[in-house]
């Protein structure tokens, strides 16, 4: 940071942090004002632009992640947050090789667009491919895959709620490489978890292999279609067996650290009562993590910032958390930023009024899943506040948290989710194409509008939610 | 090719080559039948699928290009063409390095998505970037770029006729690296010639550097936007100077050969009169060259095949040419497939009735540029045949050929062009994303329908075109 820039930041800090005043409107009226003003603000988009331009990719446990976290904490202080600190935790990183490759070496030699799965093992193998067009076909098959490369071409279903990701990521990406290895395979290749047909492979974590697994890669949708065509020719006797050569230089550096960023606006009446909101700080290494998840944590920041910008002080404390290392699977004893945050702050869980995370891109909110409450007025108020934004409130109250808040839910913290439209999310999720250009500012503004109103109706009111039964302690 | 596949091909050859008969309908009526049936045929799509699946990328002067050419000649014979031969010519290839890279090393270190320009020089440089937001700004600037990397961020205009490509490719991509070198720069970086905002760099040729130039690369549109944002911060004093590190391992192998494929359906009445149609065989190395230009040569093949499939023999000879090595600039004494074809067949030029090439993707034909003719009926007939396909006939007759036929035009051969919609063409042109998935079969069928009717109205009729004045011999 140059001297002139530091000066600018100090000036901004003064401008953005007027002495916070008591609200004069009813909570609902104030929430409506915050909502409407947020539609014009572009604050989240500006944050995403800043962090992705300054740091690019922010891989879990990397120096970039830490630098971005430190910058974010300074920026949040300058914005007017009362506190903003970086909390470190031990972390076991995984780093992609610099010159990974995958190619067909027979019958029709050509390069494929593919990337190693996070947590997978390095290696160079060349072997015959055994191609399955679905995960079920692989599971049901008795084919001998010993010494071969297992290839799963199953495509992913596209929907607004992203059910296709849940249905395919678990068995194929998480369990696939280990299952193939167990059956004697020397390599694993899957069609990317993608709803698009452009030639980007999608990264993503598999179960932590600790360097004892087999090379495992995801190829782009067009490359999967290509293998499907060759496989069809093979079945018709028009082509010989498919051979694949793959090289992964993945390394598991010594244990280091990762970070969470925690910033607060202290509550005026109940400072001990905390509303936790956030998104994650880290990203995959291929893009700049604009939609996953700079957008998510920027939404939470912009919602809190809208309260600061209106010169308001909430009754309860608003705590914004930028969780580190959400993207990677971890070995025993380590864990994501969400896990480490919950572990470090478990004692405060009974005072956490609610938790809310954004980790589903930058498109508009379409439905809201609210926590259960005995307060009959709450649902009606939320209906009046959110339906003008085109948001439908779900009948069923929430029964889980999101990627980093689910651990809190299991500690008894009520969670809520403003569900964004995920129809296009998996087009570019975890690809080199996850960059600022994917974001439409007007969509992001709608999300921040919904978040601002929702946040104020918790932090600026006395609503209480039914607390979930704490689950058995997570490992 | 396995025995069973060869057997299948022989069977196909018999099925696809009935004894060719004299037409019984008027040329216009027959052209209408060919047109309508082509809308349902999928023959071009099938060809593109076959060649891109079997060979992937087919770089100019590569073994892949030759193998694809030999396969194509055999396939064309099997389809029922009277002759199909591979014609070789000496060629100087350029090969991209395996581990090229470009990254920002300051003030915000991050990798960029970039590729070396074809014909550019290898090297590894790290230097301060001097960033220009247009070519004109670079030309007009008196900035000292000695020892620096010149960066041109000019975006490309999008239009159906692709004027933006012509306007930007010439000065920036072709002349840019040499101009920067002349002013003392040690590297050259340009925003890809792209109308899209996805993170694919677009390859393309620059002037042949013979290894005596400077490293020159094209970066993707989002990376150019990223540099633009950093440049803006720099101007405001919020960021230090931009440093770029770039590595290109480009090599210039010893002179080898490239190929043209030439296949004929002999004319029944005037076999010496030749209608030349085609597209190019080679492709850039990053994708599989589906839209550029498997689609183009497949359109020409499918148009000729529609005549074979209807059991017709044209009055004049139809010659389909798959030109090799269209994509690369060449040093003195060498040249593209189009150049070498024209040189080898110059003596036949007076007997070439017309030439037509497809090298503008796989979207629909929207306008037709026909050759001048004294035959008043011809324009009206073409109007009746093409307007039902949504094609407008241009008032002005053609005054040039296309990428491989312009050399023939300069030898006095009338050229015509069925202009396809290029609105989306430069989204994926020369990128890794130039794959089969970019093609909508129904669009390609419309193009083949227009080509079939147009081809029959020349090869199956007696129309003669006004011959252009031969230009001075091309080098």
Q: What pLDDT does residue A256 have?
A: 97
Q: Above 50 in pLDDT, residue B475?
A: no
What are the Cα distances from residue B330, in Å, to A432, B58, B93, B205?
33, 17, 8, 9
Confidence at B22, pLDDT banded by 50, 70, 90: confident
CA distances from B221 to A196, A465, B129, B194, B424 (A): 19, 47, 17, 7, 15
Cβ-based neighbour number of residue B321 at 10 Å: 28
- pLDDT category at B126 given cuts 50, 70, 90 is very high
Query: Beta-carbon neighbour count of residue A255 at 10 Å?
Result: 13
Residue A53, chain B, CB below 8 Å: the answer is: yes
Q: At what angle do helices B376-386 and B441-459 cross, to 10 degrees?
A: 160
B36's enclosing H/E stretch is helix B27-38
Q: How high is the mean pLDDT of chain B?
A: 94
Structure tokens at A77: 């202080």
| Residues of B with Cβ-Cβ distance to A225 under 8 angstroms | 436-437
* pLDDT given at position B366: 97
Q: Is A383 exposed, middle or buried (0-12, 13-18, 19+ CB in 10 A)?
A: middle
**Dist. CA B337–CA B331, nearest whole Å:** 14
Which residue ranges make up each domain of chain A? 17-93+254-459, 101-248
Using a CB–CB cutoff of 8 Å, tell me whether B419 touches chain A.
no
- Res B18 pLDDT > 90: no
d(CA A125, CA A128): 10
A110 lies within 8 A of chain B by CB? yes
Tens digits of residue pLDDT in A362-400? 999 999 999 999 999 999 999 999 999 999 999 999 999
Tell me the C-alpha distance between B215 and B188, whole Å.
6
Q: How far is B285 from chain A (nearest CA, A)?
A: 10
What stretches of A20-62 show up as alpha helix (H) in DSSP? 27-38, 43-55
Q: Which residues of B touch A53 (CB under 8 A)?
A: 108, 226, 229-230, 233
Neighbours of B20 (CB within 10 A): 18
Q: Which CATH number fits domain A101-248: 3.30.10.20, 3.50.30.30, 3.40.50.12780, 3.40.50.2000?
A: 3.50.30.30
B56 touches chain A (CB under 8 A): yes
Q: Which of B5, B432, B436 sits opposite A238 (nearest CB)?
A: B5
Q: How far apart are CA B176 and CA B189, in angstroms?
A: 9
Query: What is the pLDDT, as a whole number, of residue A11?
Result: 44
Residue A3, pLDDT score: 42
Q: Tokens 């001297």 label which residue? A: A3
Q: Is A198 on the interface with B (CB under 8 A)?
A: yes
- pLDDT of amino acid B470: 87
Q: How far apart are CA A52 and CA B71, in angstroms?
A: 47
State pLDDT tens for residues A35-81. Answer: 999 999 999 999 999 999 999 999 999 999 999 999 999 999 999 99
Q: How far is A220 from chain B (nearest CA, A)?
A: 10
Q: In B246-354, where does DSSP find H-type helix?
A: 295-309, 337-344
Superfamily of segment(s) B19-93+254-459: Zn peptidases (3.40.630.10)
Q: What is the DSSP letter of B356?
A: E
The answer to whether residues A249 and A98 touch, using CB atoms and an 8 Å cutoff, is yes
Q: Does A288 touch chain B (CB under 8 A)?
A: yes
Q: How confident is the model at residue A5 (pLDDT cuts 50, 70, 90)?
A: very low
SS (H, E, C) A304-360: HHHHHHCCECCCEEEEEEEECCCCCCCCCCCCCHHHHHHHHCHHHHHHEEEEEECCC
Going by pLDDT thresholds of 50, 70 and 90, the confidence category of residue A106 is very high
pLDDT at A14 over 70: no
The mean pLDDT of B361-386, rounded to a whole number, is 97
Burial category of B311 from C-beta neighbours within 10 Å (exposed 0-12, middle 13-18, buried 19 and up): middle
pLDDT given for residue B329 in this prediction = 86
Judged by CB atoms closer than 8 Å, whether chains meet at B222 and A436 is answered as: yes
Q: How confident is the model at residue A245 (pLDDT cuts 50, 70, 90)?
A: very high
What is residue A21's predicted lDDT score, i.e. its pLDDT? 80
Average pLDDT estimate for A335-342: 97
Average pLDDT score over residue span A403-410: 97
CATH architecture of the domain with residue range A17-93+254-459: 3-Layer(aba) Sandwich (3.40)
A19-23, A248-252, B78-82, B154-158: which range is least confident on average?
A19-23
Please tell me the distance from the alpha carbon of residue B152 to that of residue B218, in angstroms, as a whole number.
10
Instruction: For residue A278, count CB atoms less than 10 angstroms from its CB and return exposed for 0-12, middle for 13-18, buried for 19 or more.
Output: buried
B3 touching chain A per CB within 8 A: no
Q: Is A2 on the interface with B (CB under 8 A)?
A: yes
Contact B53 A233 (CB under 8 A): yes
> What is the per-residue pLDDT for B158?
95
- What average pLDDT does the segment B308-327 reach? 98
Tokens of A274: 């905390």
Beta-bridged to residue A275, according to DSSP, are A318, A354
The answer to whether residue A19 scores a pLDDT higher than 90 is no
**Could you tell me if B256 lies within 8 Å of chain A, comparing CB atoms?**
no
Mutation site, B284, B290, B435, B440, interface A, largest A CB count within 10 A: B435
Contact A433 B198 (CB under 8 A): yes
Q: Quote the radius of gyration of chain A (alpha carbons, Å).
A: 23
Average pLDDT in the A288-292 region? 98
Q: Residue A23 — pLDDT band, cuts 50, 70, 90?
A: confident
Residue A260 has pLDDT above 70, yes or no: yes
Inter-chain touch B237–A2, beta carbons under 8 Å: yes
Look at residues B353, B339, B357, B354 and name the one whose alpha carbon lies nearest to residue B415. Answer: B354
What is the pLDDT confidence band of residue B24, given thresholds at 50, 70 and 90?
A: confident
Scan residues 437-466 of A and list those with Cβ closer than 8 Å to B.
Answer: 437
pTM of the shown model: 0.91
| Residue B379: both structure tokens together | 């324009």
Question: Over 60: is that where the pLDDT of B7 sits?
Answer: no
Nearest-CA distance B163 → chain A (Å): 24
């Amino acid at each position: 940071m140059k001297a002139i820039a530091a000066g600018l930041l100090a000036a901004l800090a003064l401008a953005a942090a007027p002495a916070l005043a008591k609200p004069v409107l009813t909570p609902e009226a104030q929430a409506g004002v915050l909502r409407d003003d947020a539609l014009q603000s572009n604050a989240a988009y500006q944050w995403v632009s800043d962090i992705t331009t300054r740091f690019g990719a922010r891989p879990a446990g990397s120096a970039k992640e830490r630098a971005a976290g430190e910058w974010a904490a300074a920026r949040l202080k300058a914005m007017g947050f009362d506190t903003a600190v970086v909390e470190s935790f031990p972390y076991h990183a995984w780093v992609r090789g610099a010159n990974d490759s995958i190619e067909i070496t027979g019958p029709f030699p050509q390069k494929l667009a593919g990337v190693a799965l996070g947590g997978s093992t390095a290696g160079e193998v060349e072997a015959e491919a055994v191609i399955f067009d679905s995960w079920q076909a692989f599971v049901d098959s008795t084919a001998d895959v010993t010494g071969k490369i297992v290839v799963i071409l199953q495509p992913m279903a596209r929907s607004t709620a992203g059910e296709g990701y849940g249905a395919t990521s678990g068995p194929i990406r998480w369990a696939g490489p280990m299952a193939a290895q167990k059956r004697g395979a020397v390599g694993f290749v899957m069609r990317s978890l993608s709803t698009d047909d452009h030639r980007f492979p999608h990264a993503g974590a598999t179960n932590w292999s600790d360097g004892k697994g087999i090379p495992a890669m995801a190829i782009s949708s067009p490359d999967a279609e290509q293998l499907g065509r060759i496989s069809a020719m093979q079945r018709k006797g028009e082509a010989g067996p498919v051979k694949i050569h793959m090289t992964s230089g993945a390394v598991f550096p010594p244990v280091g650290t990762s970070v969470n960023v925690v910033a607060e606006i202290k509550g005026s009446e109940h400072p001990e009562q905390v509303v936790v909101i956030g998104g994650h700080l880290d990203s995959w290494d291929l893009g700049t993590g604009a939609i996953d998840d700079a957008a998510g944590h920027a939404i939470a920041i912009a919602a809190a910032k809208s309260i600061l910008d209106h010169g308001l002080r909430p009754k309860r404390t608003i705590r914004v958390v930028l969780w580190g290392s959400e993207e990677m699977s971890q070995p025993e004893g380590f864990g994501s930023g969400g896990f480490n945050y919950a572990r470090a702050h478990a004692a405060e869980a009974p005072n956490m009024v609610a938790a809310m995370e954004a980790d589903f891109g930058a498109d508009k909110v379409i439905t809201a899943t609210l926590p259960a409450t005995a307060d009959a007025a709450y649902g009606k108020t939320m209906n009046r506040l959110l339906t003008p934004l085109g948001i439908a409130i779900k009948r069923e109250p929430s029964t889980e948290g999101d990627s980093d808040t689910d651990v809190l839910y299991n500690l008894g913290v009520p969670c809520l989710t403003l569900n964004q439209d995920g129809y296009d999310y998996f087009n570019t999720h975890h690809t080199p194409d996850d960059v600022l250009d994917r974001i439409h500012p007007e969509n992001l503004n709608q999300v921040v509008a919904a978040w601002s109103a929702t946040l104020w109706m918790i932090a600026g009111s006395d609503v209480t939610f039914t607390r979930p039964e704490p689950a058995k302690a997570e490992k």
